């Protein structure tokens, strides 16, 4: 029997239905509300569970960095079927930029020896889409981005990498990091049994010092990026109404073509 150990990076974010406020002083999103599993990461969790099933053995471990010892989103992913989680929560992490986040996640992932690390292409709240590749660089792992399909065989990951016009097939030796796009698999709903089981699954809480990271290299102290301005997202504009004068189908095709969805 082959075994496959997969680490999935899971960001816990304010509920997009009630995202809370921007802090004008620090210019960051206030995260002192209840956090939930970022939907973007539910695809990675599902993909990891499927790969472990296909291998016939192994485990999915979650890794998250979040304030206030938040485990709400982790419990959801554990209820889906992940075996355990590592949560990094520490006041010293407040103000961490993307590289600071990547340093912390890379150290936490390094605690296990995964065959594969999965992250989402970008998170849904304050996203840069850069964290996965920074983790890969820090861990000296090869990485593949925009994956819509992953198959594992003979110590290699075969990845279908989404492009504007279709997909590229990429082969990558394990261990590696793959970031997946949203909508690639149908994330399972946690069953009642899964929700109950998740309550007693291990969540290891660690601090910056536990990971051997110098507190001055993360948080506000270590941030090499600066947020210079923040603004509320503009209200959604009304859509374009196409009157059918016999050519509506052509206008719709041209519109979709312009969006590159055809």
Binding footprint of ligand FAD on the chain (CB under 6 A) = 9-11, 28, 31, 38, 40-41, 64-65, 94-98, 101, 105, 119-120, 122-123, 126-132, 223, 225-227
> Between β-strands 143-153 and 176-180, what pairing exists: parallel, antiparallel or unpaired?
parallel
**Chain mean position to CA 253:** 33
Nearest to 108 by CA among 100, 230, 175: 100
Nearest approach in angstroms of CB 174 to ligand FAD is 19
Instruction: Calculate helix-pair angle for 98-109, 131-139, nearest 10 degrees.
Output: 50
Backbone angles phi, psi at 52, to 5 degrees: -65, -40
- Written as six digits, the tokens of 242 are 């196409």
Q: Which residues pair with 189 in a beta bridge?
A: none
Closest CB to ligand FAD among 59 and 251? 59
Task: Collapse the DSSP code of 144 into the 3-class scheme (helix H, G, I; strand E, B; otherwise coil) and give the result.
Answer: strand
Closest CB to ligand FAD among 112 and 130? 130
Nearest approach in angstroms of CB 165 to ligand FAD is 24
Nearest approach in angstroms of CB 153 to ligand FAD is 24
Closest CB to ligand FAD among 206 and 251? 206
Closest CB to ligand FAD among 229 and 237? 229
- Separation CA 163–CA 168 (nearest Å): 7
Closest CB to ligand FAD among 28 and 84? 28
Nearest approach in angstroms of CB 242 to ligand FAD is 34
Nearest approach in angstroms of CB 220 to ligand FAD is 7
């Amino acid at each position: 029997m082959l075994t496959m150990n997969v680490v999935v990076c899971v960001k816990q974010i304010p509920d997009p239905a009630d995202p809370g406020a921007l802090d004008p002083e620090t210019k960051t999103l206030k995260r002192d509300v209840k956090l939930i599993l970022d939907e973007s990461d539910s695809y990675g969790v599902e993909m990891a569970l499927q790969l472990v099933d296909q291998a016939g053995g192994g485990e999915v471990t979650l890794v998250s960095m979040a304030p206030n010892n938040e485990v709400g989103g982790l419990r959801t992913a554990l209820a889906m079927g992940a075996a355990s989680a590592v949560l990094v929560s520490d006041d010293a992490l407040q103000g961490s930029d993307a590289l600071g986040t990547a340093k912390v996640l890379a150290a936490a992932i390094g605690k296990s020896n995964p065959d594969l690390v999965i992250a989402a292409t970008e998170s849904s709240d304050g996203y840069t889409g850069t964290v996965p590749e920074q983790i890969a660089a820090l861990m000296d792992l090869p990485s593949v981005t925009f994956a819509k399909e992953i198959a594992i065989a003979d110590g290699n990951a075969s990845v279908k990498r989404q492009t504007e016009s279709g997909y590229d097939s990429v082969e990558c030796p394990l261990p590696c990091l793959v970031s997946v796009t949203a909508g690639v698999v149908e994330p399972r709903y946690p069953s009642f049994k899964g929700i109950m089981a998740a309550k007693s699954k291990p969540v290891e809480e660690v601090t910056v010092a536990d990971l051997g990271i110098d507190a001055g290299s993360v948080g506000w102290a270590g941030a090499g990026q600066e947020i210079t301005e923040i603004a509320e997202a503009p209200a959604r504009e009304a859509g374009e109404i196409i009157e059918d004068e016999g050519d509506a189908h052509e206008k719709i095709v041209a519109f979709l073509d312009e969006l590159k969805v055809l």
